[in-house]
Amino acid sequence: MTNLDFVKYYYIYNRGINGCNLFYTQENYHHFLRLYEKYIGPIAETYAWVLLKNHFHLLVRIKDKSEIDLSQLPTPVHSEVPVNARKLKAIHMYFSDLFNAYSQAINKQEHRTGSLFQRPFKRIEVQDETYFKHLVIYIHLNPVHHEFIDKFEDYPWSSYGTVISLQPTKLRREEIIGRFTSKAEFVNLHNKEIDSTFLNNFVIED
């Protein structure tokens, strides 16, 4: 896999090493999302996500360099680098920092050592509009696909509820709905069968 490039859309997926759990408590999900906002929020826009017990899926757009506020980039706690001297790292390193920070928390919680996530994390560039829309649906339906829940709309750890809500969010809600032409179509298409043969050409087996 190549490194992530600027101004490109990616489907990103990762899971626990050897299929191990990533999330044990509700607070774990919350903590992952906080770290995601810290490490990924400054360098990417998020269109869809889902967190499951032992894996997750994301659909993001990596920002152009001109869009990235260097003052918002995460730095080590004891870094002596002044804000105006911060430099942008390779984009994939921010995802690595996210995984490392989360792994440290889970290893401490679960009294374990070693890697938590598979390496390298998987990513596929998204260049097709139909594929983009199918991926949004696929990501939101994933909890049902893995039999975590019967109704995808009841699953709490995905972006579906955020898209259809009116609550403030950094998710690209208006752009997502615009790609589906309306919120009604967005909801309607989630309740239809998606073209699995089309997705099989792209989606990473999980």
Model pLDDT for residues 104-159, shown as the tens digit of each residue = 999 999 999 999 999 999 999 999 999 999 999 999 999 988 888 889 999 999 99
CATH fold of 9-199 reads Alpha-Beta Plaits (3.30.70)
Average pLDDT over residues 148-175: 93
Q: Where are the domains of the chain?
A: 9-199
Average the pLDDT over each of 77-86, 89-98, 123-132, 164-173 and give the range with the smallest value.
77-86
**Is 195 a residue whose pLDDT tops 50?**
yes
Reply yes or no: is the peptide bond before residue 42 cis, omega within 30 of 0: no
Calculate the CA dihedral of residues 128, 131, 137, 141 and round it to 10 degrees.
Answer: -140
* Residue 81 confidence (pLDDT): 61
pTM equals: 0.89
- More confident: 6 or 32: 32
* Residue 1 confidence (pLDDT): 46
